[in-house]
Structure 1
């Protein structure tokens, strides 16, 4: 009996050790704040370096009990995957609230996957096992709702209204549109039609979304993610679209020109900046940018 008990204890210790190696890996670099990387769970978020912001935002959030009662039965039929950064302000603010909503719903935690992504430049918003691959993760947190193995919808960065209201819309209304919807549209075009397809739809997208897209960073950040994944031509096409959506923003032209310059298309880069200077003749950043590219 004693031998059996010791064997069970040893097995449990082994499983705990394996889980500790798989979950809640912490990256510690001298002079920088530590961060979690890869698959994590609530235990990791409640550990020493993250507990202060997680517990505060968890406790301070008051759930809407009426909506909770409405969504709880149906929500259990979904799987949820969350991509977050423990270094990211929006993740610190919103992921604790999501946990509180899910716990109020008695959501099965074995149907929740949480992945902490990197802030390192060469792995920006990526995880070591690349769970984000093919899922268009350009902002964190991104909360994806799956049913029967297929993505139904997602909440990007923060809810439109509240987590309870947004989840209610997602599970009852197929017309829910998350933040940065333009990125979803552009990503779908790139996946289905490639760069030529995006360039071919550029005029239509500008006409349809010019008054809807709120800020140049919506597509600019997406372009940066593509570039960091060596999807350079796609990044250039996205930056080019952004110049059409925000011609009043000189930096959209600089993002495009600098990417062209980095890929040895110096003439094209200069043409883009000269076009921008016609719109913004007094802009010193554009003038300086042209000189830098010409001198390289």
Structure 2
């Protein structure tokens, strides 16, 4: 019985290891991608020459790192990134170099590679990104005692040394894309009634602080590809209200409305976009298709 129990335990460990192993996949363009939990060794291969190159060329601030090294071991860190992402290729090697020079315990670091295909946009194979509100990569999440104390989104405000020092010293730190970060949190913590009541107020506030029209649009697509269609629709509607003269933003909203079979709303939104870009053949095509669907449903 003890022998059988040992075999069962051994097989369970193997199964768990398999679930948590790094996936190496080749996309439709023939590019090798990493997905899921990864290590530095996974990135030190011929497919990812950018890792060592960007580590070597990054000059760190040793004075700041000396300060950082005193506090950093009290924290754990999650890094969500994409081996396909230009920002990740540039920033992740730099961040890793800072951690190494600060003698950070690598066992307290999780590197999680996410996908780029439409059906799994910025998602990891086993859902490792769920609950962490990842909409841009790379995203560095800094935790103490299991609770988030801050994050660096896409790139540091100054550099990784100074940004991390602010986080571990408890200074006020506002990451990039703070509007999207805030809205993502709000979508998870508020009821639909509360969100609808705040809609006008949110638009007025967000348009003053957003980093342009793409900030919330990217969040909308992330939610859409994750299957959170109602939340994605709310985000696209907010963004279309903020950027009503942007044909691309209106087209994004119309595309989701069409996906949700809200054909009348989609047609109206496509027409608004076409008014801004009268020669856009793709918009004209979408209007014909949606019009035909509406006509067939109302003979």
Partner of 1:10: none
Q: Deviations over 1:118-147 (max 9, x none)?
A: 223222211112110111111111110001
The separation in 1 between residues aligned to 2:77 and 2:236, in whole angstroms, is: 31
Matched, 1:170 2:167: yes
* 8 Å contact kept, 2:136–2:154: yes
Aligned to 2:123: 126
Measured in 1, the distance between the counterparts of 2:138 and 2:41 equals 18
Question: Mapping of 1:18-57 within 5 angstroms?
Answer: 22-28=20-26, 31-50=29-48, 52-57=49-54
Bigger shift: residues 91-100 or 252-261: 252-261
**Cα contact 1:190–1:197 (8 A) shared by 2:** no
What residue in structure 1 maps to residue 212 of structure 2? Answer: 215
Single out whichever of 187-196 and 237-246 deviates more from structure 2: 187-196
Q: Encode CA deviations 1:210-230: one digit per residue, 9 max, x unaligned.
A: 122122221111111111122
Q: Is the 8 A contact 2:84 2:116 kept in 1?
A: yes
Which region of structure 1 is more displaced relative to structure 2, 126-135 or 208-217? Answer: 208-217
Please give the TM-score of this superposition, normalised by the length of structure 1.
0.87
Q: 1:61 aligns with which of 58, 62, 86?
A: 58
Instruction: Name the SS for the 1:152 alignment partner.
Output: strand
Distance 1:205 1:49, change over 3 A: same
Cα displacement (A) at 1:201: 1.6
CA shift for structure 1 position 292: 3.3
CA distance in 1, matches of 2:50, 2:69: 26
Tell me the residue number matched to 2:9. Answer: none
Whole-angstrom CA distance in 2 between matches of 1:123 and 1:168 = 33
In structure 2, relative to structure 1, the CA distance for the partners of 1:276 and 1:31 (3 Å cut) is closer
1:78 CA displacement: 0.7
**What is the TM-score normalised by the length of structure 2?**
0.86
Out of 79, 82, 100, the position equivalent to 2:79 is: 82
| 1:179 and 2:169 matched | no
* Corresponding residue SS for 1:218: helix
Counterpart residue number, 1:102: 99
Q: What is the SS of the residue equivalent to 1:224?
A: helix
Alpha-carbon deviation of 1:293? 2.0
Distance 1:244 1:113, change over 3 A: same
The answer to whether the 8 A contact 1:195-1:233 is kept is no
TM superposition shift of 1:262: 1.2
